[in-house]
Chains A and B, each alone.
Chain A
Amino acid sequence: MTEPRQIDFRQWHRLFQQVPDRLVEEIRYYRHLPQAEWSQYLFPPSTHVVYGNRLLRKLKFDNSQAALRLWGFVMSEGERIYRARQAGMKVIAVMGDLGAVTPLVYSFPNIVAFYPDCLWWTPFLMESRELFDEAGQLGLGEDCCFVRASLGAFSRKAYFPKPDLCVGTVGATCDDMATVMSEAEQLGVDIHYFELPHRHDGDTDKTALSGYLENQYQELCRRLEQATGETFSPDRFRETVQKVNRMRSLIAEIKDLSGAPAASPMGAVEMMNMEFAALSYYGDLDECLAVLTEFRDLMKFRANSGQGYQNQDLRLVWVTPPADPLLMNYIEELGGRVVGSEYLIHQTTPIIDTKKDPFEALAEAHLKATLMGSSAYRVNLVIEQVERTHADGVIISGVFGSSHCPYETAPIISALRQKGIPVLSFDVVAPGKRRLQSQIFNRMEAFSESLKARKKRRAG
């Protein structure tokens, strides 16, 4: 295997010529369908540059085939959802739940789920204000989270096919997503609202909350039956959940491996993409499992053999996913590595109990949701990550206008400061605001300087 390195899109373009034709041919999604040319996805970042993803010119990518496969899988999701529709599959948009309801959706046959909210990174990838401006014309301006880009996408009708149903989770989740949903409804999207119970803390009696969620899942199930014309099958549910559990275990295992003591075995952006597979499996659960398995094998090999990137010694926990992946690359350039993360998707981590009643099992897992717990619950999750990964510091990338950021960021900062854990917090800057972005870079640089100085002092 090649020595782990982060390379740019030009280097990948040339390196790709060494990837055997056989592999390019073999690696495909929707393997249950007759093999079509469009189902291949192992292509280098330069391919996506040509189609307007301008940020890829600036990003650094891991040089492994497993990482290339992950990138290819992530970048082909948009086309994949269209191809699903062309192949006669039902398309379900899941919004606002952050990965909790997808196991139920995938329990129905001939169906794919996708996550419109993830389009929040499209303006960053394309270095474009198009989708934000579109959302702005529909009334969602800069005072709303970057997920407003998904409203722009609903309006443009060019980023995903019209969903057969949109499951819109509201309540104790980001209000911004609910705003997008209600606007999308105006555009003719069929929305089934899935209501979360109130936020809770450790002392709350979970029985009532669980019962409430079970009802929500049962209602959703009926709605999915209507949308698909299929009857819910507990056996198929168990079969799906077994796969989902495998994926959750894989993600947990990979996350653990990213903290390998010798050197960082993988880039932070790849790790974030990997973790986000938990949301909707990038539109193909089986292939997603194959992608993550190969990724895990590589990580395991690197971690066990002490291989990784050079000169990335500052161990960091990243809190709240940054819509702009360049920020993660930048901290790596400054000598940082992300060894832990709290991306608000804690509800995708529990193993779902296949022996229990399906709805009860789903509700139980859902109650782990970061946004449904109290602020203290999330603070503890972050601190637990810092301690477990022996992190030198924490970076919190907030989003101006995002409803959860002001609720959560201040208590997390305060708790970390009380424990003497260095923390840097900033709001991610929308594309096109170069001056503001350079100021974020400046803060990151100052933060890394102070962490390096401390490390040096500790080392005597």
Chain B
Amino acid sequence: MPGMKKSGDMTVGIDIGSRTTKALVWNGEEVLSRSMLSTGWTPEKSASVAFEKTLQTAAISPSEVKRTMVTGYGRGSISFADESVTEITAHARGVSYLLPETKTLIDIGGQDSKAIIIDDEALVQDFAMNDRCAAGSGKFLEFLALTMELSVQDFSELAFSSKNPMQISSICTVFAESEVLSMLAEGVAREDVASGVHRSIALRVAQMAHSLHPQVPIAFSGGVARNRCMIREIGVALGGDISVPEMPEYAGALGAAIIARESL
């Protein structure tokens, strides 16, 4: 993307999630560049690297950036940013830009999941979060994919092919693993077990969202929104079509960049 046009004031949004850090440059009309890397143990360092990489890709210097806004769980430790905003506000803002009709947003991240109700002016009206245990998060999916010796992507594709998802009743990750292993030992089809895992997460997320009386259209963001089986299961659990924005994992970073620009 080097050499892309640079119009208007540019802002940078950085989303430091528990698993990955995303950064992008926004000029008020389009995303000029973006970068994503693993957060690791040092959020400040990964944010700094993501920031530099995305600026490099857009071929701009730090002095050309009018404001940098951070979001995500690691936002508190970033000294070079101008401001911070919670990922709840940032995701809502990002998704509202990408899918302006959205009324309900589901976001499944590495260590939590959230349901956000968005009002007509793209503001957060209400939200609920599951951040107390791994069940209902990307981590749960990752852990059980590992149990079945699959990558998350293969796990998702395998699950998508299932017509008969099994019921995984354990909500504790450790017990869910034993349940999965028992099913496999009993000879249950692998795809049915995999889709059962997806369904279990979707049901938990939907339960949380129902407490907010969700309205359609429903959007789904975060890294897990690239998972076809999860999109299907969330749709079934919430009883509606699910829209996924372009680059769903960048919704938070985009929202942060937009908010940064609005505050100029």
Task: Report Cα–Cα, A422/B132, bound state, in Å.
Answer: 22
**Chain A contacts of B123 at CB under 8 A?**
450, 453-454, 457
**Residue with the greatest number of chain A CB neighbours at <10 A, chosen from B86, B87, B125:** B86
Given contacts A442-B73, A443-B129, A446-B127, contact A457 B89 (CB under 8 A): no
A450 engages B124 (CB within 8 Å): yes
- As a 0/1 sequence over residues 121 to 135 of chain A, the CB contacts with chain B under 8 angstroms (1 = contact) are 000000000000000
Task: Report Cα–Cα, A429/B121, bound state, in Å.
Answer: 33
Q: Does A304 contact B (CB under 8 A)?
A: no
Q: Does B88 contact A (CB under 8 A)?
A: yes
A446 engages B132 (CB within 8 Å): no
A457 engages B86 (CB within 8 Å): no
Task: Report Cα–Cα, A313/B86, bound state, in Å.
Answer: 19
B121 engages A457 (CB within 8 Å): yes
B129 engages A450 (CB within 8 Å): no
Task: Report Cα–Cα, A450/B128, bound state, in Å.
Answer: 13
Q: Does A187 contact B (CB under 8 A)?
A: no
Given contacts A442-B73, A442-B86, contact A417 B126 (CB under 8 A): yes
Instruction: Return B262 CB to nearest CB of chain A, in Å.
Output: 10
Q: Does A445 contact B (CB under 8 A)?
A: yes
Task: Report Cα–Cα, A438/B89, bound state, in Å.
Answer: 17
B73 engages A446 (CB within 8 Å): no
**Chain B contacts of A436 at CB under 8 A?**
131-132
**Chain A contacts of B213 at CB under 8 A?**
417
**Chain B contacts of A417 at CB under 8 A?**
126, 212-213
Q: Does A231 contact B (CB under 8 A)?
A: no
Give the size of the chain B interface in residues (CB under 8 angstroms): 19
Q: Does A230 contact B (CB under 8 A)?
A: no
Q: Does A25 contact B (CB under 8 A)?
A: no
Question: What secondary structure prevails in chain A residues at the interface with B?
Answer: helix
**Chain B contacts of A450 at CB under 8 A?**
88-89, 123-125, 127
Task: Report Cα–Cα, A443/B208, bound state, in Å.
Answer: 15
Given contacts A417-B213, A442-B73, A457-B121, contact A449 B129 (CB under 8 A): no
Chain A residue with Cβ nearest B112: A439
- As a 0/1 sequence over residues 416 to 452 of chain A, the CB contacts with chain B under 8 angstroms (1 = contact) are 0100001100000000000010110011011001100
B126 engages A446 (CB within 8 Å): no
Chain B residue with Cβ nearest A429: B132
Q: Does B236 contact A (CB under 8 A)?
A: no
Instruction: Return A248 CB to nearest CB of chain B, in Å.
Output: 36
Task: Report Cα–Cα, A446/B89, bound state, in Å.
Answer: 6
Q: Does B99 contact A (CB under 8 A)?
A: no
**Chain B contacts of A454 at CB under 8 A?**
123
Q: Does B85 contact A (CB under 8 A)?
A: yes
B131 engages A446 (CB within 8 Å): no
Question: What secondary structure prevails in chain B residues at the interface with A?
Answer: loop
A446 engages B121 (CB within 8 Å): no
Task: Report Cα–Cα, A417/B126, bound state, in Å.
Answer: 9
**Chain A contacts of B131 at CB under 8 A?**
436, 439, 442
Instruction: Return A433 CB to nearest CB of chain B, in Å.
Output: 10
Task: Report Cα–Cα, A453/B73, bound state, in Å.
Answer: 21
A445 engages B86 (CB within 8 Å): yes
- As a 0/1 sequence over residues 119 to 144 of chain B, the CB contacts with chain A under 8 angstroms (1 = contact) are 00101111101011000000000000
Task: Report Cα–Cα, A453/B90, bound state, in Å.
Answer: 13
Instruction: Return B86 CB to nearest CB of chain A, in Å.
Output: 4
Given contacts A439-B129, A443-B129, contact A453 B86 (CB under 8 A): no
**Chain A contacts of B88 at CB under 8 A?**
442-443, 446, 449-450
**Chain B contacts of A442 at CB under 8 A?**
73, 86-88, 131
Task: Report Cα–Cα, A439/B73, bound state, in Å.
Answer: 8
**Chain B contacts of A422 at CB under 8 A?**
125-126
**Chain B contacts of A457 at CB under 8 A?**
121, 123
Chain B residue with Cβ nearest A427: B132
**Chain A contacts of B86 at CB under 8 A?**
442, 445-446, 449
**Chain A contacts of B112 at CB under 8 A?**
439
Task: Report Cα–Cα, A93/B131, bound state, in Å.
Answer: 39
Instruction: Return B71 CB to nearest CB of chain A, in Å.
Output: 10
Task: Report Cα–Cα, A423/B125, bound state, in Å.
Answer: 10
Contact residue among A413, A439, A453 (Cβ-Cβ distance under 8 Å from B124): A453
**Chain A contacts of B73 at CB under 8 A?**
438, 442
Task: Report Cα–Cα, A422/B129, bound state, in Å.
Answer: 15
Instruction: Return A393 CB to nearest CB of chain B, in Å.
Output: 10
Instruction: Return B202 CB to nearest CB of chain A, in Å.
Output: 22
**Chain B contacts of A453 at CB under 8 A?**
89, 123-124
Task: Report Cα–Cα, A445/B127, bound state, in Å.
Answer: 12
Chain B residue with Cβ nearest A425: B128
Instruction: Return B39 CB to nearest CB of chain A, in Å.
Output: 15
15 extra interchain contacts, Cβ-Cβ under 8 A, other than A413-B211, A450-B123? A417-B126, A436-B132, A439-B129, A439-B131, A442-B73, A443-B129, A446-B86, A446-B124, A449-B88, A449-B89, A449-B124, A450-B124, A450-B125, A450-B127, A454-B123
Residues on A facing B (Cβ under 8 Å): 413, 417, 422-423, 436, 438-439, 442-443, 445-446, 449-450, 453-454, 457
Residues on B facing A (Cβ under 8 Å): 73, 85-89, 112, 121, 123-127, 129, 131-132, 211-213
Query: Can you name 21 A-B pairs with beta carbons within 8 Å?
Result: A417-B213, A422-B125, A436-B132, A439-B112, A442-B73, A442-B86, A442-B88, A442-B131, A443-B88, A443-B127, A446-B87, A446-B89, A446-B124, A449-B85, A449-B88, A449-B89, A450-B88, A450-B89, A450-B123, A450-B127, A454-B123
Which 4 interchain pairs have the tightest Cβ spacing? A446-B88, A450-B124, A446-B86, A439-B131
